[in-house]
Structure 1
Amino acid sequence: MKTRHLLLGLLLLPGLLAAKVTSSSRPHQYAVASAHYLATDAGLEILTRGGNAFDAAVAVSATLSVVEPISSGLGGGGFFLLHEAKSGHDRFIDARETAPASATPDKYLDATGALNRDRATNGPWSAGIPGLPAGLVHLADHYGRLPLAVSLDPAIRIARDGFPVYARLANGYMARREVMERYSGTRGVFLVDGTPPAEGEVLRQPDLARTLTLLAEKGHDGFYKGEVAAKLLAGVKAEGGEWSAQELSAYRIRERRPIRFEYDGWQIVTAPPPSSGGIALAQMLQMLEPWDLKALTQAQRTHLVTEAMRRAFRDRTFYLGDPDFVKVPQRTLVSPEYAAGLRATIHPGKATPSDMLSGSQTPLEDEDTTHFSIIDAEGNRVAGTQTVNLLFGSGLIPPGTGVLLNNEMDDFALKSGTPNAFGVMGYEANAPQPGKRMLSSMTPTFMESKDRVAVLGTPGGSRIITMVLLGALAYADGLDAQSVAALPRYHHQWMPDALSTERNALPADVAAALRAMGHTLNTPEDAPDGRRSSDAWGNLQTVSWDKSGNLLSTGSDPRNPVGSGKVIEVKSKVKP
């Protein structure tokens, strides 16, 4: 598979930064890769202050919440996949947002009975109860080594003192300006001098610093009760929304058992429902395993991978939802036998039209999600993916909080069979109910073979799942971390029935061969159906540990000029 190698300008070249160490029993070094250099530095700061990977995850997550409001924040949610080196246990922290009791499907319909897109994606009705603050508290209380206040210190400092606005943040604001400027609290953060944030200006967020400080001092109650909660409730109510103090204070994370399966000599550990990504990843990789993909032409390989994508996304549509509310047939869906049945329906030389797969049941985040990957000196690791859903979420900041609320309600099937902002559909399994968690595409993932460990994930809406698939296949092919982060990307999600690609992801002869097999392509170069695929997708952040050579390395997506991956040596001996 063709790879792309791009430089990161003035930033550290993440994939080239790797350092030799002396023992393969544990790395004796730290590796952090995230979508912003300040977040990477925050994680490394906490590690050098005596924290472990889980403390560093708190620091990276909270700092991303400050410097990437376009992507994630305290007003959103996330998933944290953890590996404890000492016990060997893997754990999954579900800090996904939940539906308010007021958010019944009828509230999202217009006078004609059609889905009200504005209400589903903008303002108070689009927002679920935030989960990320509870996730940070849980990480610190149950897995970290340092007090929460220490791990949150870098984020508080950066919120208070400010950071330079980068191009993506400034351009994203302009893209969402009309919605952002509807709300007084949002104007108070982004229009302090009366003009939108411009690249190079310093953005300070004193209200967010105050909210983070209260979280640091009081833990869960610092956000979900008291001063911050009162301001959140007042801000939502002022804009016509209906949250209650009881459902806000009652929010709790869920610890879930990760999905685990094997692929080509690798143990894969990944996200369970309410993520749809882990089940889909297990299905796709197990469908593909019998084929020697490296021996195939690029067109043949792309065809087979696309057909696996198509089938996994069909199952996503009908079966998946919050396991606390619906029965998800997980054991069946991730079994090798079920994958074999799906594989048997794949023609090796012809595309399967999506409408030929059953459209009835039988017996997802934008580019503006964010991901980080961490391995510490003891071998603990974290894959964290967090989001506010679309660009700047709902656009609403309740005054006095600095907290930009998510618009994750659009990830529910608000109207059965109607596609959401990413074009993916859902039915009863993903319909909103009070306290229910909306289906997600976030797919934080670990891979481990006898001589290598990888941690990876990415933003990208419904394309998260297929980007992680392509990354996993690349690691299995033997690529290094930076090459994995730079890979060209393509995607199929069953409906609409089109193979979408980044610009120049497929050579012209490969695209022609795929069309000859019956695939409809949607590319930036040629979109025959009038739709346009964006030029670049995702923001993959990955770290890798070569156990045989005892080498840590990082991969930070070259599509994102402010991303950063770093490896540093531990100067003193690490205690077990």
Structure 2
Amino acid sequence: MSLSMNWRAAALCLLLVAGGAFAADGAPAKAASGHASTRIPGHAAIASANFHATEAGLEVLARGGNAFDAAVAVAATLSIVEPESSGIGGGFMAVLHRASDGHDVFIDARETAPAAVDAQDYLNPDGSPDRDTALKGPLSAGIPGEPAGLVLIAKRYGRLPLAQSLAPAIRIAREGFEPDERLREAIAGMQEDLQRWPASAAKYLPGGKPPAAGVIWKDPDQARTLELIASHGDQGFYHGETARKLVAAVRAAGGNWTLADLASYRAKERTPITVDYRGYRIVTAPPPSSGGVAIAEILNILSGYDLTKMDAATRTHYVIEAMRRAFRDHNDYLGDPDFVKMPLDMLLSPFYADGLRQSILPDKATPSSMLPRAEAAEPGMHTTHFSIIDADGNMAAVTSTVNYTMGSSFVAEGTGVLLNDEMDDFALVPDKPNVYGLLGSKANAPVGGKRMLSSMSPSLVIGADRTAVIGSPGGSTIITQVLEGILHFIDGESAQQIAAHKRFHHQYLPDVVNVETGVFDAATSDALTKMGYTLKPREAWGFMNVVTWDRKANQLDAASDPRRPSGLGKVQ
């Protein structure tokens, strides 16, 4: 979809790096203080999973908005053009940095369980988990948080009226766009499930089949829903016309939502987790994300080593062992902070990390069976992340999800809203694995109004001269992807290098190291195997989006994961 030349000219020289990542260059500025408040004249950088979403954010910036207005525009546009991963029928977590006063805040727009949630609904007659109920249809959907979160960001942190920030998404939904290959493949892969519900089939399977390449696809129902949000804020989604349609559709299909569930939903501001590592301040997600606690715990453990002086195998050994211990801990204790008391002081303590470090042998893997058992429940692989820095140094790291591919596959008739399937992120059946083979504890048991635990880990990395905004989708691998990205950034790598880096992952159980092809050379793989690690090849995972700012050179850089390119490169 073409955009007017007005804002294109105002946006100066914009470079599409990959997959929807833009950066704009301007005149040098002085180095910033610790909270990165120096203005970056003519600069803006956005990295998202889709070209249309990135352009929507840039359009809003060029019209006088800040990074937070742009975040609203990007998220709303992703709801239209990347519904396989996120949308207003799901939720998000965001870390924001306001440059004017150095204020950091975490926005919790995670979904909640409906009041009538009943764990028995997710059991087969023999007591085993009913994965179909947990993952498909209205019973799998939590109360969406994204609309309330976008309204909160616009109202408290944006410069523009909400309607201006939502305008690009509404226009794209009304006028149409060409679905990219990833969306077409997602719809084709979920076709059987989408066919189960008339509104889902009508939206995603026009003529009974997925949209073909080159076809212009419109979304008038979701445009109408976004228009109501633009005009009425929370009232436009959680009350009135949209709320009535959502509840009617869910209940007609066997779900248990009520108007009261929607009316009582609130997005929340929370204090982010911060941890210092090698001269950098990492600002990351607190519960109900498990990711920030795990990242902080891992970095605290690693702070006792000088990884820069180690060979590749030894360095990887210590990182894996830190991952193992953090994953052993985090989900056994963590849940919705409004429902669960958590020993965060202990988990985040450097003294606790000291004790964990003492249990790591210098040349041998620690079998997970030797550590006290703690189980984890993690979200799915089909999530999205975007990163933004604006000309004033405001930053937004936003990770948004509907959980599994195409969420619940259930579209609420008359709204255009594809609902999430986040109920599977609860420990619906204690000590039974969810769809990703991961277990859960009672801290993450479903209760009406409770937020399910998440691994979403939007993060900021702020140093004396360099800053990064980073995040990724990827279920439990979100945590290790973001961790590895932070380590690479601190080692001096560029946004493109960070996003492209090969990855490895260990999550305590199962006791294997997932490895992307090419992450280790033959000598490192052999050394790790001799230490006792089981290396398990796995296809590429994640869709990292990174923005970096070198404040000495006053250079912004933006990169999207080359593993999943949008198929479009552009220089203006």
Q: Same fold (TM over 0.5)?
A: yes
Of 337, 345, 348, the residue aligned with 2:359 is 345
Q: Which residue of 1 aligns with 2:34?
A: none
Q: Which residue of 1 aligns with 2:341?
A: 327
Q: Which residue of 2 aligns with 1:409?
A: 423
Pair 435,566 (structure 1): closer, same or farther in 2 beyond 3 Å: farther
Q: Distance in 1 between matches of 2:442 and 2:303?
A: 32
Is 1:481 aligned to residue 498 of structure 2?
no
Q: Which residue of 2 aligns with 1:574?
A: none
Is 1:243 aligned to residue 257 of structure 2?
yes
Pair 409,237 (structure 1): closer, same or farther in 2 beyond 3 Å: same
Of 26, 29, 32, the residue aligned with 2:39 is 26
Q: Distance in 2 between matches of 1:567 and 1:266?
A: 32
Summarize deviations over 1:289-320 as a string: whole Å, max 9, x none.
12221221211111111111111111123111
Q: Distance in 1 between matches of 2:373 and 2:146?
A: 35
Deviation at 1:199, TM superposition (A): 2.8
Pair 546,567 (structure 1): closer, same or farther in 2 beyond 3 Å: farther
Deviation at 1:269, TM superposition (A): 0.5
Q: Distance in 2 between matches of 1:333 and 1:408?
A: 26
Q: Distance in 1 between matches of 2:260 and 2:523?
A: 59
What SS does the corresponding residue of 1:287 show, helix, strand or coil? Answer: helix
Pair 155,183 (structure 1): closer, same or farther in 2 beyond 3 Å: same
Given that residues 93 and 256 in structure 1 are in contact (C-alpha distance below 8 angstroms), is that contact kept between their aligned partners in structure 2? yes
Given that residues 98 and 434 in structure 1 are in contact (C-alpha distance below 8 angstroms), is that contact kept between their aligned partners in structure 2? yes
Alignment of 1:32-47 (within 5 A): 32-47=46-61
Summarize deviations over 1:144-190 as a string: whole Å, max 9, x none.
11000000000001111111111111111122111111111101101
Alignment of 1:146-225 (within 5 A): 146-225=160-239
Q: Distance in 2 between matches of 1:522 and 1:396?
A: 34
Q: Which residue of 1 aligns with 2:402?
A: 388
Q: Which residue of 2 aligns with 1:527?
A: none
Identical positions, percent: 54
Structure 2 residue identity aligned to 1:62:
A
Alignment of 1:183-332 (within 5 A): 183-332=197-346
Q: Which residue of 1 aligns with 2:540?
A: 536
Of 533, 558, 567, the residue aligned with 1:519 is 533
Given that residues 21 and 54 in structure 2 are in contact (C-alpha distance below 8 angstroms), is that contact kept between their aligned partners in structure 1? no
Q: Distance in 2 between matches of 1:299 and 1:504?
A: 14
TM-score by length of 2: 0.93
TM-score by length of 1: 0.92
Question: How large is the RMSD of aligned CA atoms in angstroms?
Answer: 1.9
Summarize deviations over 1:530-551 as a string: whole Å, max 9, x none.
xxxx421111111111111111
Structure 1 residue identity aligned to 2:39:
R
Q: Distance in 2 between matches of 1:247 and 1:441?
A: 24
What SS does the corresponding residue of 1:69 show, helix, strand or coil? Answer: coil
Q: How many residues align?
A: 549
What SS does the corresponding residue of 1:440 show, helix, strand or coil? Answer: coil
Runs of 4+ in 1 over 6 A off after TM superposition: 563-568
Given that residues 40 and 564 in structure 1 are in contact (C-alpha distance below 8 angstroms), is that contact kept between their aligned partners in structure 2? no
Of 386, 403, 416, the residue aligned with 1:372 is 386
What SS does the corresponding residue of 1:285 show, helix, strand or coil? Answer: helix
Is 1:428 aligned to residue 442 of structure 2?
yes
Structure 2 residue identity aligned to 1:101:
A
Q: Distance in 1 between matches of 2:16 and 2:46?
A: 19
Given that residues 80 and 383 in structure 1 are in contact (C-alpha distance below 8 angstroms), is that contact kept between their aligned partners in structure 2? yes
Deviation at 1:80, TM superposition (A): 1.4
Of 439, 450, 456, the residue aligned with 2:453 is 439
Pair 139,557 (structure 1): closer, same or farther in 2 beyond 3 Å: same
Q: Which residue of 2 aligns with 1:561?
A: 565
Q: Distance in 2 between matches of 1:15 and 1:301?
A: 33
Deviation at 1:555, TM superposition (A): 1.7
After the TM superposition, which of the residue ranges 352-361 and 228-237 deviates more from structure 2?
A: 352-361
Pair 167,501 (structure 1): closer, same or farther in 2 beyond 3 Å: same
Q: Which residue of 1 aligns with 2:158?
A: 144
Of 463, 469, 481, the residue aligned with 1:449 is 463
Q: Which residue of 1 aligns with 2:482?
A: 468
Q: Distance in 2 between matches of 1:503 and 1:395?
A: 32
Instruction: Mark the runs of 5 or more structure 1 residues left unpaired by the alignment.
Output: 1-7, 524-533, 569-576
What SS does the corresponding residue of 1:203 show, helix, strand or coil? Answer: coil
